[in-house]
Amino acid sequence: MTTHTGRRASLALAALAGLVSGAVFLGAAELLALLVARTASPILAVGGFVIDIVPQPFKEFAIATFGANDKIALLAGLGLAVVIASAIGGILEYLRSPSGVVIVAIAGVLSTAAVVSRTGVTPLSFLPPVVGTVAASVVLILLGRRLRLWRGTLEGAHADADADADADTASDEAPALGRRGFFRLAGVAGVSAVIVGVASRVVTAATSSVDAIRDALKLPAPRRTLTVPAGAELDVPGLSPLFTPNADFYRVDTALTVPAIDPSTWRLVVDGMVERRVELSFDDLVGMGLDEYGITLTCVSNEVGGGLVGNARWLGVPVRDILRMAGPQAGADMVLSRSVDGYTASTPLSALTDDGLDAILAVAMNGEPLPAEHGFPVRMIVPGLYGYVSATKWLTELKVTTFAADEAYWTPRGYSAEAPIKLSSRVDVPKVGSPVAPGRVPVAGMAWAQPTGVARVEVNIDDTGWIPATISTPVNDESWVQWMYEWDAAPGTHYIAVRAWNKNGQLQEQQRAPIAPNGSTGWHRVLVTVSS
Ligand SMILES: Nc1nc2c(c(=O)[nH]1)N[C@H]1C(S)=C(S)[C@@H](COP(=O)(O)O)O[C@H]1N2
Ligand SMILES: [Mo]
């Protein structure tokens, strides 16, 4: 065995010791999280922290590249970082103890910071990362000691080679002892860490699933259901439905794992600039009486022609009724709504108290309790405001405050503190890229102008002039409408453009604007090829 391969093998074994110690860190932390503080998993906390700190362009890149798998990609990247850092820690510990322990300690401090920044400073939330750090350090120190006993340190290895000539029996036995001790400890610690860690995470995920509770939840019948007028839905194949099925409803949030909230322990706190702090249970809220509302939700990140918009029937309670119980003080102009995962949105107080506007706390979506990804058990929905400034999911607090005093999640990240939804329309059919036969072809799409309402929609074929389209009978001014135009399509390529007018006589903005800082504008225009 040459010194070179011997050295390389020693470093590989040292890296292995580091990986075992890394596994022990995560395994011990997951077990502690399961036992004492479910939300204090270091790996998930660090992932959430990364989501919060990465710059917006990178976030957009991640969403564009990995799509709905962006969070899985993040976890995979994080796993790779853990593997690399652990291996380096193992090698450092072998070369110069206790420098590897310093790496473990740094990981411990960072993950503790991530955990407490997300779950709050409670004694129990410190336990998973701290116990993980201690266990990983002990294992790393012991493995490093055994490895040195077996292989010698690098310097020691040279000394050993020199001493080989007059080797005595004691130094002959030490390497064998070290070798056995190393593999025994590495095997036991590595295997049990993986088993305990995976089992803990699986049990945490399975038992914190609220699916069973949600399925069993019986909501009282609404006092008033939404009236859907005749003609509210046009019959055009391929056109988006008036109500977006829950399974097709877009999802946008910063949550790495979907919060699991048991309605029986859920509380809403209304505090801040109020006469009386109010605390409501789920039964209190539902007991106020549920009504059904049709409201179209829109994301500020929706590009012209995009799909980050959907319409649903929501069962809920007006926010103004809840705020009235607390009594907002004079001078307040904003409500900061907070999610259990720390996400916040800033909504003008007037948008929530206005009698003419149906801002609600929603508990059901399209006839069933809110799906977990859409905010179970309670979320806010405000007609006419982009989701990021109004539609807080997994709601837990309404803080009455001012725009001067408080900032919401997206405000320091390049988005406006106040953001009304912009009057928009889009073409759904013909679908871009699908073949169209010449003759009578329905051209159709959606238009929305919450909370003013869409007055009319116009279509323009090949820039020959704006023609009125037929619009569906609106359910209300807070929901989108469908529009259609019967086109006599001639062979060749054609441009179809659409624009909408709201009930205030306002025309949709033609000038293109990007999604940041407060929503895209521009007329949607698609290229269609008609076969001959
Ligand atoms: N807790 C929480 N609520 C949130 C968000 C979030 O990141 N966290 N994102 C908001 C944004 S940007 C939008 S557009 C809507 C999307 O709601 P949906 O996922 O149910 O469609 O939720 C809003 N509520
Ligand atoms: Mo959004």
75 vs 332 pLDDT, higher one: 332
Q: How far is the CA of 307 from the centre of ligand 2 (A)?
A: 12
Ligand nearest to the CA of 381: 1
Six-digit token string for 367: 């006839």
Which ranges of 96-242 would DSSP assign to H, the alpha helix? Answer: 99-119, 123-151, 154-163, 169-207, 211-216
DSSP label at residue 222: P
Q: What domain count does the chain have?
A: 3
Model confidence at 152, pLDDT cuts 50, 70, 90, reads: confident
User: What average pLDDT does the segment 139-155 reach?
Assistant: 84
CB atoms inside a 10 Å sphere around CB 501? 18
* 36-40 average pLDDT score: 79
Enumerate the β-bridge partners of residue 433: none
d(CA 355, CA 358): 8
- CA–centroid distance, 498 to ligand 2, in Å, is 23
Phi/psi for 338 (5° steps) reads -125, 140
Report the pLDDT value the prediction gives residue 161, as an integer from 0 to 100.
41
Instruction: Report the pLDDT averaged over residues 207-235.
Output: 90
What confidence score (pLDDT) does residue 55 get?
73
Would the CB of 338 count as within 6 Å of ligand 1?
A: no
- Per-residue pLDDT for 309 more than 60? yes
Buried b (16+ CB within 10 A) or exposed e, 453-474: bbbbbbbbbeeeeeeebebbeb
| 156 has a pLDDT exceeding 80 | no
Residue 238 covered by a domain: no
Q: Which of 208, 238, 272 delimits the end of a domain?
A: 208
Q: How far is residue 338 from each of residues 302, 363, 375, 391, 395, measured CA to CA in Å? A: 23, 16, 12, 10, 6
* Average of per-residue pLDDT across 155-177: 54
Distance 299 CA to ligand 2 centre (A): 4
Identify whether 222 is part of a domain. no
Per-residue pLDDT, 120: 67
The domain in which residue 251 lies consists of: 246-413
> pLDDT tens-digit profile of 241-287?
999 999 999 999 988 878 889 999 999 999 999 999 999 999 999 99
As a whole-number percent, the residues of the chain with pLDDT over 90 amount to 73
Pair 43, 126 in one domain: yes
Ligand 1 proximity of 415 Cβ (cutoff 6 Å) = no
CA torsion 361-362-363-368 (nearest 10°) is 170
Q: Quick one: average pLDDT of 304-333?
A: 97
Residues 190 and 257 grouped into a single domain: no
Does 299 sit in the ligand 1 pocket, CB within 6 Å?
A: yes
Cα–Cα nearest to 315, from 291, 297, 296, 285: 291
Q: How far is CA 333 from CA 52, 115, 243, 355, 525, in A?
A: 26, 32, 33, 16, 39
pLDDT recorded at residue 216: 86
Q: What is the pLDDT of residue 173?
A: 80
Number of Cβ within a 10 Å radius of residue 110: 15
Can you give the CATH number for the domain in which 279 is found? 3.90.420.10
State the CB neighbour count (10 A cutoff) for residue 146.
22
CA dist 312 and 107 (Å) reads 44
Closest listed ligand to the CA of 343: 1
Residues 204 and 255 in one domain: no
Which ligand places an atom closest to the C-alpha of 250? 1
Q: Are residue 326 and residue 386 in the same domain, yes or no?
A: yes
Same domain, 506 and 380: no
Give the model's pLDDT for residue 164.
41
Please count the CA atoms within 13 angstroms of the CA of 530 that sit on its side-chain side: 19
- In order of 294, 365, 526, the CA distances from 406 in angstroms are 30, 30, 42
Query: If you take atom 15 of ligand 1, which residue's CA is the nearest one?
Result: 387
Closest ligand 1 atom, residue 386 Cα: 14
Q: Is 182 in the pocket of ligand 1 (CB under 6 A)?
A: no
According to the 3-state scheme, what is the secondary structure of 383-410? CCECHHHCCCCCEEEEEEECCCCCCCCC
Do 376 and 465 belong together in one domain? no
- What CATH number is given to the structural domain containing 490? 2.60.40.650
> What are the tokens at 417?
């503190």
Q: How confident is the model at residue 158 (pLDDT cuts 50, 70, 90)?
A: very low
Packing angle, helices 3-36 and 42-53, rounded to 10:
90
Residue 4 confidence (pLDDT) = 67
User: Ligand 1 mean position to 173 CA, how many Å?
Assistant: 64
| Cβ 128 vs Cβ 40: under 8 Å | yes
Residue 339, ligand 1, Cβ within 6 A? yes
Tell me which H or E stretch contains 51.
Answer: helix 42-53
Check: CB of residue 494 under 8 Å from CB of residue 459.
no
Compute the mean pLDDT over every residue in the chain, rounded to the nearest whole number.
Answer: 91
pLDDT at 203: 87
> Dihedral sign, CA of 165, 168, 171, 177?
positive
Residue 147 within any structural domain of the chain: yes
pLDDT of residue 461: 97
Q: Are residues 12 and 39 in the same domain?
A: yes
Compute, in angstroms, the gap from residue 345 CA to the centroid of ligand 1: 9
* pLDDT the model gives residue 494: 96
Q: Does the structure show a pLDDT above 70 at 239? A: yes
Pocket test for ligand 1, best of 393, 409, 411 (most atoms within 8 A of CB): 393
Out of 55-59, 221-225, 347-351, 360-364, least confident range: 55-59
- Cβ burial 348-367 (10 Å sphere, 16+ → b, else e): bbebbbbeebbbbbbbbbbe
Tell how far the Cα of 43 is from the centroid of ligand 1, in angstroms. 23
Percent of the chain with pLDDT over 70: 94
Q: What is the pLDDT of residue 171?
A: 58
Mean pLDDT, range 85-104, rounded to an integer: 94
Q: Is the CB of 253 under 6 A from ligand 1?
A: yes
Flag whether pLDDT at 167 surpasses 70. Answer: no
**What integer is the mean pLDDT of 309-315?**
98
How sure is the predictor about 157, in pLDDT bands with cuts at 50, 70 and 90? very low
Phi-psi bin for 282: left (phi > 0), alpha (psi -120 to 50), beta?
alpha
Tell whether 214 is covered by a domain.
no
Which residue type is seen at 278?
V
Q: How far is the CA of 372 from the centre of ligand 1 (A)?
A: 12
Gap between the Cα atoms of 446 and 475, Å rounded: 13
- Tokens 């604007």 belong to 513
Whether residue 425 is predicted with pLDDT greater than 70 in this model: the reply is yes
Q: Are residues 54 and 136 in the same domain?
A: yes
Average pLDDT over residues 196-209: 84
- Report how far apart, in Å, the C-alpha atoms of 111 and of each of 33, 116, 130, 326 are: 13, 9, 9, 38
Report the C-alpha gap between 377 and 421 in whole angstroms.
Answer: 25
Same domain, 16 and 124: yes
Atom 1 of ligand 1, nearest CA residue: 393
User: Which band of pLDDT confidence, cut at 50, 70 and 90, is reported for residue 64?
Assistant: low
What's the mean pLDDT in 462-488? 98
For residue 121, how many C-alpha atoms fall within 13 Å in the half-sphere facing its CB? Answer: 1
Say yes or no: 349 and 490 in one domain: no
The alpha carbon of 349 and the centre of ligand 2 are apart by a number of angstroms equal to 20
Write the DSSP symbol of residue 305. Answer: T
Residue 137 lies in a domain: yes
Domain boundary among the residues 413, 441, 465 is at 413
What confidence tens digit (pLDDT) does each residue in 346-386 have? 999 999 999 999 999 999 999 999 999 999 999 999 999 99
Same domain as 124, residue 27: yes
Residue 125 pLDDT exceeds 90: no
Q: Which among 153, 179, 208 is the end of a domain? A: 208
Q: What is the mean pLDDT of residues 327-332?
A: 98
Is it true that the peptide bond before 517 is cis, omega within 30 degrees of 0?
yes
Asked if residue 217 is part of any domain, the answer here is no
pLDDT surpasses 70 at 10: yes
Residue 216 falls within a domain, yes or no?
no
Whether 250 lines ligand 1, by a CB cut-off of 6 Å, is yes
Residue 220 counted as domain residue? no
**Residues 393, 464 within the same domain:** no
